[in-house]
Amino acid sequence: MRPVDPSIPLPAHPTDTHFPTEEWSGGSFAPNVDSSRLTALLDKAFAKAPPEELGETHAFLAVQNGRIVTERYWQDAGPADTWPSWSVAKSITHALIGILVKDGLIDIHAPANVPEWQADDDARKAITLDQLLRMSSGLEFAEDYVDAGVSHVIEMLFGSGNQDVAAYAANFPLAHAPDSMWSYSSGTTNIVARCAARAIGRTGADFEAFMRERLFEPLGMKSPIPKFDPAGTFIGSSFCFCTARDFARFGLLYLRDGVWEGQRILPEGWVDYARTPTPVPEDEEQAYGAHWWLGMCGADTFSANGYRGQFIILAPALDLIVVRHGNSDEESGQGENARAWLSDVISCFRG
């Protein structure tokens, strides 16, 4: 497993740079950035014929010290185009829970509000939101996008579970005692998203209005398109389309410790909670926090990662955000190569 150092402090916003609520500021590379190597890496990714080992890169954006320092797009695409989040949406769900914690409407260490678990003899009744956010609930769930055998995530998103994704996931039994085993699960996030909705008594369009009022609009995020199932639950595991610039705005909120233009959006300590390591199996390539991945591009980094190569990577030591969207196949090795390419990209900023 890659090393993790969550003690690196989150950087303050430069006093000479405005928050990008209306528009992003442009900036130049810092003197220590290896710009020629970075350009070569971007030229490779955005070649007319995509490199076979990497797959397609559709959008790339780097923000340092609160300013866009480089930005590229695939073929005829541009800054106004939206891109799929896939599991980047899990980190957006983490933010929504944080807002409700700040409001005093949710206690992540109390048993989660899940109606399917309320029988007196149901051991799942004790599962907390903290355990769900850390993917340590112990619930059975097969996270397999290839469907080589059993794929609960495909069945949830596109099969029999897609009418009520949270109920589908909540009806699985325990495979392990709560808090005894880490297992990545999109079903878990949809249970969490429904818990958020139940905390405020809002679903569907009403819950989307909450998302916009409390998270997207304060940050100037105008492009998000969150998707809901027919039961009115935000499909927080997988579906919130955004422009690359808006994904970067979301990343900046976390890099700035949940504060935007002097307003605290997320509760104090919530970002540090996201990047505090959760015990994971020794053979897991990356560390995990609470609905954020840790250490992908250096010990100080934490990231929102999505299927087939969607990323928001934060490097606090560099005051850096990197956003990448593309189509990189995991099974052929392109996904691993995309993560290695991003590590090379971020190393260009380390001097």
Query: What local confidence, expressed as pLDDT, does residue 351 receive?
Result: 84
Q: Using CA atoms, how far apart are residues 182 and 304, in angstroms rounded to an integer?
A: 18
CATH of 25-83+241-347 among 3.20.20.70, 3.40.50.1220, 3.40.710.10, 3.40.50.620 = 3.40.710.10
Specify whether the CB–CB gap between 52 and 45 falls below 8 A.
no
Query: What local confidence, expressed as pLDDT, does residue 1 receive?
Result: 77
Identity of the amino acid at 170: A
Average pLDDT over residues 155-163: 97
How does residue 147 score in pLDDT terms, banded at 50, 70 and 90?
low
Is residue 305 classed as helix, strand or coil in its secondary structure?
A: strand
Closest to 56 (Cα-Cα) out of 270, 338, 332, 314: 338
Asked if the model's pLDDT at residue 158 lies above 80, the reply is yes
Judge if 25-83+241-347 and 91-199 fold alike in CATH terms: yes
Q: Using CA atoms, how far apart are residues 334 and 329, in angstroms rounded to an integer?
A: 5
Q: Using CA atoms, how far apart are residues 33 and 346, in angstroms rounded to an integer?
A: 10
Angstrom distances, CA of residue 138 to CA of 146, 161, 218: 23, 20, 36
Q: Using CA atoms, how far apart are residues 148 and 31, in angstroms rounded to an integer?
A: 49
pLDDT tens digit sequence for 178-207: 999 999 999 999 999 999 999 999 999 999
Query: What local confidence, expressed as pLDDT, does residue 300 receive?
Result: 96
Asked if the model's pLDDT at residue 148 lies above 60, the reply is no
pLDDT tens digit sequence for 216-263: 999 999 999 999 999 999 999 999 999 999 999 999 999 999 999 999
pLDDT tens digit sequence for 88-110: 999 999 999 999 999 999 999 99
pLDDT tens digit sequence for 79-90: 999 999 999 999
Largest CA distance in the chain: 63
Asked if the model's pLDDT at residue 127 lies above 90, the reply is yes
Is residue 172 classed as helix, strand or coil in its secondary structure?
A: coil
Percent of the chain with pLDDT over 90: 96
Domain boundary assignment for the chain: 25-83+241-347, 91-199
Asked if the model's pLDDT at residue 153 lies above 90, the reply is yes
Asked if the model's pLDDT at residue 164 lies above 70, the reply is yes
pTM more than 0.75: yes
Neighbouring C-beta atoms of residue 146, cutoff 10 Å? 10
Asked if the model's pLDDT at residue 289 lies above 70, the reply is yes
Q: Which CATH class is domain 91-199?
A: alpha beta
Closest to 190 (Cα-Cα) out of 170, 173, 210: 170
| Mean pLDDT of the residues in the chain | 97
Query: Encoding tokens for residue 219?
Result: 């940050």
State the Cα torsion 163-132-320-101 to the nearest 10°: 100
Burial of 5 (0-12, 13-18, 19+ CB in 10 A): middle
Percent of the chain with pLDDT over 70: 99
